[in-house]
Structure 1
């Protein structure tokens, strides 16, 4: 006991030494936080100034001598606060409800039944809102219901309905789109938003923004790389996909993932899968972007500028949660004019030769498309 905490340590030989010690214990009953399940609150005496922390709900209660009153965190003093562990990786086996702060990501995380989940908050009135408005975009698809398929459904429409589901997924408000590749199969979903048909003309520049999440368990069933949404120009030709090189007419720049075991970990290596005129093989090139965790929502932004025909000035970019993770400006996509950005190619499938050992799922929310450049 130290004097600066108001406790009294009797000196050796002091008469009635038990009096100050009993007073110390009375004070400790107030100064030391009580921790228990919230349902046990009434089993503790609400001494004036005592604090009760509910382990199951995180609620804090303060005693006034007669009853417990729930306190808002904003009214608690520094002495009443508690500190969460700061980690650079998620705990190996956290309990459901356990909280920690990821210092490398700058986010608060909680363990759920489906795995670690980042806790998000709504912006306050005095915080700056995103600069773009919905009016900036040419296509807005919230994936609220099955009408999302009307945004696509041209050229190809494989797996829509059978391998897709609209559902309410943790971490986002409202409904989201879940897409599946069944175990033992390669194909899940591929469908197209045709800009040339919808807008009367195909742009040479295009921008996508959407939220994406690999459902927990994704990594465990992988046996190959795979493909995700992106852009393409393949009108009247088989070039630019499926092992047909981009020889000057057809091209594609879909996102995907590389084999995770080639990147020394269990995170998912997000990449661009690009069919361009200078690709190293007939199946295009994989261009690494960054590593993503399964079970976490990310805001993905994709941008393409086809550049000048037969010139190495094509641009391809990707942002993840607002950070520019990929920026290349020397692609040669096509030999002459035509086959502009005709499609927003919305697909999900696994590998070429190998198939997943079980069903794999990717989830999407709030797609926005801007034709002709950045929003």
Structure 2
């Protein structure tokens, strides 16, 4: 029975009569890689705060306000409709829930994550999430199978080391923590109850694939359960990752997993990029039958979120998803010192953020000023060793900077700033 009212939202008397209990949060490691002294082995009195901090961003994903999941989530496989859809026959609250389908013999699944930077939230260092989730009535898994179904946090724009057997991460090339359901461990009998497990790509893992930690926290098929997750990035001291990254899972209000020694990153440039539903059955194993997962009541609370506005709140700042509406792109990379620069364009120019194949990650810069004095003029100051990005239509008249940038890219090609000296007024 719940003894608190989580600030991550309870819709009514959650799970009343569902008969789901987390029990003692005992870790049941599958091999010696998963034994950690700080992984909780008894129910602890650690809870999310009663109320979000005043500066926290709170995001409620209301499925009833959208026609399809792709309007709010990033559907990575391009198979929306085949994999993810809104349904009204298996709903926890409101008019619709989201269903994910895994077909018999399939193992690729799909992702429907909330893409934080594209929605204007940058990459926060701390994210709480809450959702109610159900395995379908006919859920079935073979012995030793694993199915990932929830993303506590993931970064893939920095590199591929957070998935696909591409680990271990080195600190600036991606990371992840995913919640899975498995037949491994005690009480998971493969018929009607399954254990949770944590699957993490981190700097101290022993193998190229992520580290799996099985949790003796059984969940049944065919019934809604409440999952809350929390991730906080590790600290960085003198460019080194401190082993204090945190992950916690609560099942129906009870803490069932806690670990506080993760090392994921050596740079502030990568934090939590994606969160929410991620579904993949297996590594190499396939779903033994048609499977269904259901999601409802998704909420995110972002702590230590950078002051990045949503794209419709800041004039001249646009989503990277509108790239095709513009003819060209500029990427300005500063040296290890503060830089002031000016860009003049005879058409339209807008500020955006993105990551590209050349390794630059353009982020929001609140010093950017875009004015029109017959030409569109960008004036900005950029902090050391960072990147600003722009889309534009028309021609670039001139670019000047003090000092010169470390790199300047125009339309995908590296350029010399002297080639854009121009003689426009104000130069």
**TM-score (normalised: structure 2):** 0.53
Match of 2:58 among 119, 134, 138: 138
Distance change >3 Å, CA 265–CA 223, structure 1 → 2? closer
Cα distance in 1 between the residues matched to 2:136 and 2:202: 31
Contact 2:18–2:224, Cα closer than 8 Å, also in 1:
no
Q: What are the equivalent positions in structure 2 for 1:112-151 lying under 5 Å apart?
A: 132=51, 138-144=58-64, 145-151=66-72
Match of 2:101 among 160, 177, 180: 180
1:300 aligns with 2:231: no
Q: Which is richer in helix?
A: 1
Per the alignment, residue 292 of structure 2 pairs with 361
Per-residue displacement from partner, 1:218-244 (whole Å, max 9, x unpaired)?
125677212112111221311110001
CA shift, 1:168, in A, is: 2.5
CA shift, 1:147, in A, is: 3.8
Per the alignment, residue 218 of structure 1 pairs with 139
Contact 1:275–1:283, Cα closer than 8 Å, also in 2:
yes
Per the alignment, residue 207 of structure 1 pairs with 128
Q: What are the equivalent positions in structure 2 for 1:317-356 lying under 5 Å apart?
A: 317-356=248-287
Per-residue displacement from partner, 1:238-279 (whole Å, max 9, x unpaired)?
111000112222100111123347755231111111001111
Cα distance in 2 between the residues matched to 1:313 and 1:262: 29
Match of 1:153 among 74, 85, 95: 74
Match of 1:163 among 79, 83, 87: 83
What residue ranges of structure 1 are gaps of 5+ in the alignment? 1-99, 107-129
Q: Report the count of equivalent residues.
A: 250
User: What is the SS of the residue equivalent to 1:197?
Assistant: coil
Distance change >3 Å, CA 221–CA 149, structure 1 → 2? farther
User: What is the SS of the residue equivalent to 1:149?
Assistant: helix
Per the alignment, residue 281 of structure 1 pairs with 207
What residue ranges of structure 2 are gaps of 5+ in the alignment? 1-16, 24-48, 306-427
Cα distance in 2 between the residues matched to 1:365 and 1:227: 17
Cα distance in 2 between the residues matched to 1:317 and 1:101: 23
Cα distance in 2 between the residues matched to 1:237 and 1:217: 37
Contact 2:165–2:210, Cα closer than 8 Å, also in 1:
yes
User: What is the SS of the residue equivalent to 2:209?
Assistant: coil
Distance change >3 Å, CA 200–CA 207, structure 1 → 2? closer
Cα distance in 2 between the residues matched to 1:315 and 1:103: 26
Per the alignment, residue 40 of structure 1 pairs with none
Distance change >3 Å, CA 197–CA 330, structure 1 → 2? same
Per the alignment, residue 313 of structure 1 pairs with 244
Per the alignment, residue 234 of structure 1 pairs with 156
